Amino acid sequence: MEVRAQFESHVLALLRHRPAVHLPSARQLELMCQRQLDAETLPGWRTFWSLATHFFEGLRLVPGRSIEAPEASAASQVLSGLLLREQFNEHDMPVEDSLQVINHLLFLEQADVISQRLVSILNDWSESPELDLPTEAQLDVQSMAQLAQDVQLTAVQQVADSLAVQLARLRAKRVADDIKASLSGAQEVSRLLQHFAVGSVRQPQANVLAALRGE
């Protein structure tokens, strides 16, 4: 079966089973995207395949995660990118422009979902700090850092990396002010993403980074 037919078959299975995640298809799509990434040489397309790999990896990592409208849209963006790749040549600027749009949307559709979920998890934890921090929070913040690295969004990556380190510290020793700093860090990621969505790249607030780093 050719690559496009394989992709379409597994994406169709994902959409047919929603809101549940069809784990075999998510895993196969992740592996196929990783193979495309390994074989890719052009930077813009490496970004696309990396974003796509992380998307399908994220679907299968957390039990109970569901496919809602943003995830279905992201899966469609992956198919659009695959079709575009088949048409691409290095001198085709309209296709290059379309690729940038697809990468932008594929990043934001993943990042927005992760960001909102992270803020919700940390907000709930800040109100009940006696409970264990859900594992999903650590996975989400690591995924956010990876996505930001894919698109070279340094500000978001800085905050996400600092938040990941801080959450690891909090697992060992919980301090009320540090839990509040975690929530502020997640909210800062959301703020930076909102600006990025409208074409404005902002720097992280220094006080938020300092609090996450315990400075």
Cβ neighbours for 130, distance < 8 A, ≥ 6 positions apart: none
Q: Let me know: does 37 contact 46? Beta carbons within 8 Å.
A: yes
pLDDT of residue 92: 59
Q: For the chain of 215 residues, list the mean pLDDT of each consecutive stretch of 10.
A: 87 92 94 96 92 91 80 90 81 71 91 92 86 86 94 95 90 75 94 92 92 85
pLDDT at 93: 58
Measured distance CA(39)–CA(53) in Å, rounded: 13
Residue with tokens 């296709």: 95
Q: What is the predicted pLDDT for the residue at 66?
A: 84
**pLDDT at res. 90:** 63
pLDDT at 60: 85
Q: Quick one: fold of 110-212? A: Four Helix Bundle (Hemerythrin (Met), subunit A) (1.20.120)
Please, which residues have CB within 8 angstroms of residue 115's CB and are 6 or more apart in sequence?
Answer: 144, 186, 189, 190, 193
Alpha-carbon distance of 140 to 58, in angstroms, equals 9
Predicted confidence at residue 182, as pLDDT, reads 92
Please tell me the distance from the alpha carbon of residue 73 to that of residue 168, in angstroms, as a whole number.
32
